[in-house]
Amino acid sequence: LDDEAFAYRKRVSVPTDLLINNAGIGLPGEFETGTKDALMRQFEVNTVGPFLVTLQLLPNLQLAAKVNGSAVVVQLSSFLGSIGSCTEDTAAFFKQAGYGYSSSKAALNMVTRSLALDLRPSGVVAVSVHPGYVDTDMTGGKATLKPADSVAAMADLIAKLKPDSTGKFFNLDPQIPAAELPW
């Protein structure tokens, strides 16, 4: 959404019952050649962008919660945004430990947790979701989870979200047995 679209949504008070913030970039070779600009770019896209979009649509989300009883913000995060994922096995798989991508997704999880606390009184549920290691351009042919399967699992999860779901970090990757991930 651009600034004009945000302004329109605010002006006409359109209820928004579901916001899915799907943003993610990861830049390779950070340990050897990382730069401030590369690190900041990942934080801008992976953390700051979803936060600002949520703030822009907050009146619409709160209106939907008031009219419909609830509204949901889903932040597409990553298993790599869990501090517990930073292990020797993960570093070996990706050929290095995580820096920009992992750190920015961990920050997104904290933003989500903070939104959950602040939005709970208005009936807006905020959750982080690891969609799985999905076969996209970003995973370079290593992933086996098909986008359609990930989306189906996400739709199922969203349909089951309740007010007490707010602030949780859900896992949709069938290769990881836990339904919820640690922060």
**101 given a catalytic annotation:** yes
Burial of 73 (C-beta count, 10 Å sphere; 0-12/13-18/19+): buried
Cα–Cα dist 37/30, whole Å: 11
Catalytic residue among 8, 99, 101, 133: 101
CA 157 to chain centre: 14
Q: In what order do the strands lie in the sheet with 18-21?
A: 18-21, 71-76, 124-130, 169-171
Catalytic (active-site) positions: 101
